[in-house]
Structure 1
Amino acid sequence: MEFYWPASSGEWLAWISAAIAVLFGLILFFAPGLSMKLLRLAPAGGRPEAFASIRATMAGFHLGLGLSCLVFAQPFLWLALGAAWGFSLFGRLISIMSDKGGTFYNWGAVVLELLLAAGPLLFAFGFIA
């Protein structure tokens, strides 16, 4: 079986979104301490359970969904990836509105998550070929 490379520009956008999800997952998996600093999180008392949660919940999701999209390249997987990034965006917007989190970091993350959600969704729904 040969690795599938995208054939169109729309498929490349979706593929890049999946590759970024895998990259985020790898960083979260192999460097949870650094990841927590980048995400502006701090475990209470440096507890090892915090690092396990980062590796299991956050890294596992990004790696699992991203690798599934890259390996199988199916339309429903692109929809799932776009929906996942879209709900990440939605959660961040809710936090900006309700938690007074309108910082430069959060607005930059909004732009990034919007782009990462748009690529797979636009391709999966046929807006870009």
Structure 2
Amino acid sequence: MEFYIPTETGELLAFSAAIVTALFGLFALFAPGTALKLAGLQTREASREGYAFARSAGGFYAGLAIVALMMAQSWIYMGIGGGFALAAFGRILSLMSDGSFTLKNLVVLLVQAGLAALPLAYAFGFI
């Protein structure tokens, strides 16, 4: 089995979104403390469950993205896009109801929306 790098523009954009997702996931998997700090979260000294959650969530992101990179199937790209679309929806809900309307949250919302749009646009044939 050889590693496939797409040449078609739409698939290359979806592939790029999977690479970014894998990098985010690996970062959270191997540097959970830094990932939590960047997210504005912290763990209590007596409890390390926050690190476990960050590592497992990072592993999930990395695993899904690595499978997408290895299999190069539109339905797997759809899974990444759907996940980021719901994450962006959750961030919009938070912006509206939790009083978390900050520049940082807006930037993360744009990143999540972009990471949702690229693979979904490819999977549904728009690009």
Partner residue, 1:37:
37
2:11 partner amino acid: E
5+ unaligned residues in a row in structure 1: which ranges? none
Aligned length: 127
* Alignment deviations for residues 50-76 of structure 1 (CA, whole Å, 9 cap, x no partner): 2111111x1121111100100001111
Give the TM-score taking structure 1 as reference length.
Answer: 0.95
Q: Hey, what's the Cα distance between the residues in 2 that align with 1:60 and 1:46?
A: 24
Partner residue, 1:99:
98
Partner residue, 1:25:
25
Give the TM-score taking structure 2 as reference length.
Answer: 0.96
Secondary structure in 2 matching 1:21: helix
Secondary structure in 1 matching 2:101: coil
Q: Hey, what's the Cα distance between the residues in 2 that align with 1:46 and 1:111?
A: 35
* Alignment deviations for residues 28-54 of structure 1 (CA, whole Å, 9 cap, x no partner): 011011111111101123522221111
Q: Hey, what's the Cα distance between the residues in 1 that align with 2:53 and 2:77?
A: 26
Written as runs of structure 1 = structure 2, the 5 A alignment for 1:1-129 is 1-45=1-45, 47-56=47-56, 58-128=57-127
**Comparing 26-35 with 45-54, which one deviates more in the overlay?**
45-54
After TM superposition, which residue ranges in structure 1, 4 or more long, deviate above 3 angstroms?
Answer: none
1:10 partner amino acid: G
1:36 partner amino acid: L
Structure 2 CA distance for partners of 1:19 and 1:46, relative to 1, 3 Å: farther
5+ unaligned residues in a row in structure 2: which ranges? none
* Alignment deviations for residues 88-129 of structure 1 (CA, whole Å, 9 cap, x no partner): 10010000001011100000011111111010000000011x
Q: Hey, what's the Cα distance between the residues in 2 that align with 1:84 and 1:74?
A: 16
Structure 2 CA distance for partners of 1:46 and 1:63, relative to 1, 3 Å: farther
